[in-house]
Amino acid sequence: MLRFLSVRLTTSLVALVGVMVLVFFLARLTGSPASLYLPVDATDAMVEAFNRQNGLDQPLPAQFAQFAINALQLDFGQSLAQQRPASVAVLSAMPQTILLAVVAMTLTLALSIPLGIFAAMKPNSLLDRTITLFSLFTASIPDFWFALVCVLVFAVNLGWLPTSGQGSLASWVLPVATIMLHPIGVLTQVVRGAMLETLNAGYVQNARARGYSWWRLAFRHALRNAALPIITVAGDRAGGMVNGAVIVSAVFAWPGIGQVLVAAVYNRDFAVIQAGVFVVGIAVILLNVLVDLVYVAADPRIRVS
Amino acid sequence: MQGRIGLLLRSPLALACALTLITLVLVALIGAPLVKDIANTQNLRLRFFPPFSLDHGWTYVLGADALGRSMLAQLIVGARTSFLVAGATVALAAVIGTSIGMVSGYVGGLVDAALMRISDIIVTIPSLLLALSVLFVLEPSIFNLIAVLAVARLPIYLRVSRAQTLEIRERVFVEASRAIGATSATIIWRDIRPLVVPTVMTVAMLEIASVMLAAAGLSFLGVGLQRPDVDWGTIVSEGREYLTRAWWATVFPGVAILVTALAANLLSNWMRSSGDPLQAAAMGASASREEAARQ
């Protein structure tokens, strides 16, 4: 088990290094920030001074070497747009996004596990078909459009919810719903599939023959064994919530990592892009480790081997 | 194949989805060139003309946008781009991903390990961020949009085809081919490809809907397509500015995406449940990870 974890960690770190190299050069391709941060009539001398001040006058390999040395010390440089260290700019936005993701994931699991179990109760019944249709439906709605239509209906027409901000509890409803939209359908289908498989297993049939109630069968016996695929997909989708966060920041002006990253791309704020991808990458790796640990807790066979 | 079509005819929902998709594709292919001029005709007197009224002819039945352009014509023109982007992305990613996956699985060793790490890298970067930064560098164009989306979607085909190849590689008929002196390229093409392609086709069908959503999302964020190119995502993002004034400019293109994606998803769901159970098992998202954990 320890070997497995260490192999996974090593490969993830190699992937992260690859990502950082890729992002470094991609960001440099977006053009010089000088044209964006200096006035239109800036003289050549001003551009030169700006480049020298930000280390942009060095040849690319030298810039990369400097970046790598600093990155090893977790120093990603100054944000050009925000006038503070890039890592601070990124890390200060993380709690908002993590909180949003945790709330959305908890609600997604709380809804999709019962839904999936009910669907698996009687395969091909009306209930099963309805739940399957619902999950395919949520997977087919464009999330940005869903967010806009919700704003139109609930905020503009009915006036029940605010269009943006994050002060009151009500302002959380639409962002959370938008982020949940795609994961919930996928997870419901995964729960259904995994439950169908375990409910047909011999030991469950045996327990049924001995007269245990269906509820006890499903929630006590089958769910534990159906947990592995559910955990995997839930972990996968939790990592994918960064994408949802970008949409949420675009529609609801939600101040999180999504907004910081999008603004950094448009502002050619290299330092923030690099720090942001690094932090998101680390978060995804930590999430994977967490999923592996939950695996071990859920399935003793992994612990033994 | 004939059996498949027979099954399709007997399942009303699946048949309805297939017909919807075929109709939409036909409308997009045939209709788009015909209504292109109407779609670009601005009529400022008809700004925000409300939908469901035939007062100004059938082209304005779905209303008009902020410049008085017919929504219906815009949607038809946008349909062609949306289908083109989704179809080309899936085809490109499937062909390249499957080829690499088969070679990687068959050859194994260092090549395999390196390719898998590259696939890991693609999976680690949030796909929207990758697309955002690449499309910001390159000019927004249909070709660039397809290329970026295809790269982000490669790992799925790579993994599915590699996993199948690993299993097929050990079978007796492959060994027989090797024994009579067939080259690796011949074995991959003649023995492995015919067994991998059906699974990949099922995955590709499933991917069409999600690629369409992803492309629309990028256009919505303003890095996908820009005028004069227009797809359904672009129309939503334009309509957004007048959301309270003219809901139809935002709602209708979204409904178009929803209907298409839902039809594709229902059809691929039906394909999986009616098709070969082995295929369904090969596509299990979690299988590989569980195996890795058990080792």
- Residue A31: predicted pLDDT: 64
- Residue B88: predicted pLDDT: 94
Do the chains contact at A243 and B120, CB–CB below 8 Å? Answer: no
Banded model confidence at residue A305, pLDDT cuts 50, 70, 90: low
Q: Does B206 touch chain A (CB under 8 A)?
A: no
Secondary structure in 3-state letters for A138-178: HHHCCHHHHHHHHHHHHHHHCCCCCCCCCCCCHHHHHHHHH
Do the chains contact at B128 and A302, CB–CB below 8 Å? Answer: no
User: Of A188-192, B41-45, B155-159, which range is least confident?
Assistant: B41-45
User: Of A3-7, B146-150, B183-187, which range is least confident?
Assistant: A3-7
- Residue B282: predicted pLDDT: 42
Share of residues in chain B with pLDDT > 90 (%): 14
State which residue of chain B sits closest to A229, comparing Cα positions: B286
Mean of the per-residue pLDDT values of chain A: 81
- Residue A283: predicted pLDDT: 83
Query: How far does the CA of residue B254 sit from the closest CA of chain A (Å)?
Result: 6
* Segment A52-66, tens digit of pLDDT: 777 777 777 888 888
- Residue A239: predicted pLDDT: 80
C-alpha span between A235 and B285 (Å, rounded): 12
CATH topology for the B2-26+77-224+244-294 domain = MetI-like fold (1.10.3720)
Is residue B169's pLDDT more than 80? yes
* Segment B218-261, tens digit of pLDDT: 888 877 777 778 888 888 888 888 888 888 888 888 999 999 99
Of the candidates B37, B65, B29, B33, the residue with the CA atom closest to the CA atom of residue B49: B65
Q: Which residues pair with B70 in a beta bridge?
A: B64
Selecting from B118, B136, B220 the residue whose C-beta is nearest the C-beta of A144 gives B220
Q: Residue A85 in 3-state DSSP?
A: strand
- Residue A125: predicted pLDDT: 84
Name the range with the highest mean pLDDT among A141-150, A276-285, B194-203: A141-150
Mutate to test the interface with B, among A4, A138, A144 (most CBs of B within 10 A): A144
Name the range with the highest mean pLDDT among A220-224, A226-230, B94-98, B218-222: B94-98
C-alpha span between A31 and A25 (Å, rounded): 11
- Residue B284: predicted pLDDT: 45
Q: Which residues pair with A78 in a beta bridge?
A: A85
Do the chains contact at B133 and A265, CB–CB below 8 Å? Answer: yes
Is residue B25's pLDDT more than 80? yes
- Residue B260: predicted pLDDT: 92
Structure-token pair, residue A96: 């908002």
Structure-token pair, residue A160: 């029940």
Of the candidates A241, A250, A204, A211, the residue with the CA atom closest to the CA atom of residue A226: A204
**Whole-structure pTM value:** 0.81
Beta-carbon contacts of residue B98 (< 8 Å; ≥ 6 apart): B157, B158, B161, B196, B197, B200
Is residue A102's pLDDT more than 80? yes
The arithmetic mean of pLDDT across residues B134-152, rounded, is 82
The arithmetic mean of pLDDT across residues A213-237, rounded, is 82
C-alpha span between A54 and A77 (Å, rounded): 9
The residue that leads in pLDDT, B9 or A272, is A272
- Residue B291: predicted pLDDT: 45
First to last CA, chain A: 7
Is residue B121's pLDDT more than 80? no
Q: What is the DSSP letter of A78?
A: B
Q: Does A164 touch chain B (CB under 8 A)?
A: no
Mean of the per-residue pLDDT values of chain B: 81
Q: Does A212 touch chain B (CB under 8 A)?
A: no
Share of residues in chain B with pLDDT > 70 (%): 88
- Residue B3: predicted pLDDT: 63
Query: How far does the CA of residue B58 sit from the closest CA of chain A (Å)?
Result: 26
Question: B67 burial class (0-12, 13-18, 19+ CB within 10 angstroms)?
Answer: middle
- Residue B278: predicted pLDDT: 43
- Residue A32: predicted pLDDT: 67
Banded model confidence at residue B283, pLDDT cuts 50, 70, 90: very low
Query: How far does the CA of residue B224 sit from the closest CA of chain A (Å)?
Result: 14
Do the chains contact at B125 and A240, CB–CB below 8 Å? Answer: no
Banded model confidence at residue A106, pLDDT cuts 50, 70, 90: very high
A243-246: long-range contacts, CB 8 A cutoff, minimum separation 24: A243/B126, A243/B127, A243/B128, A244/A104, A244/A143, A244/A178, A244/A179, A244/A181, A244/A182, A245/A97, A245/A100, A245/A101, A245/A179, A246/B126, A246/B128, A246/B129, A246/B132, A246/B221
* Segment A264-298, tens digit of pLDDT: 877 777 788 888 888 888 888 888 788 878 877 77
Cα-Cα-Cα-Cα dihedral sign, residues A13, A15, A18, A23: negative
Give yes or no for a contact between A222 and A206, defined as CB atoms under 8 angstroms apart.
no
Is residue A12's pLDDT more than 50? yes
Helix ranges, chain A (H): 2-29, 34-37, 44-53, 60-72, 86-91, 94-121, 126-140, 143-150, 170-199, 202-209, 214-216, 223-252, 257-267, 270-298, 300-304
C-alpha span between A81 and A246 (Å, rounded): 19
Supply the ipTM of this predicted assembly.
0.81
Structure-token pair, residue B34: 């015909």
Q: Residue A82 in 3-state DSSP?
A: coil
Query: How far does the CA of residue A130 sit from the closest CA of chain B (Å)?
Result: 12
- Residue A36: predicted pLDDT: 66
Q: Does A15 touch chain B (CB under 8 A)?
A: yes
Give yes or no for a contact between A37 and A24, defined as CB atoms under 8 angstroms apart.
no
Is residue A263's pLDDT more than 60? yes
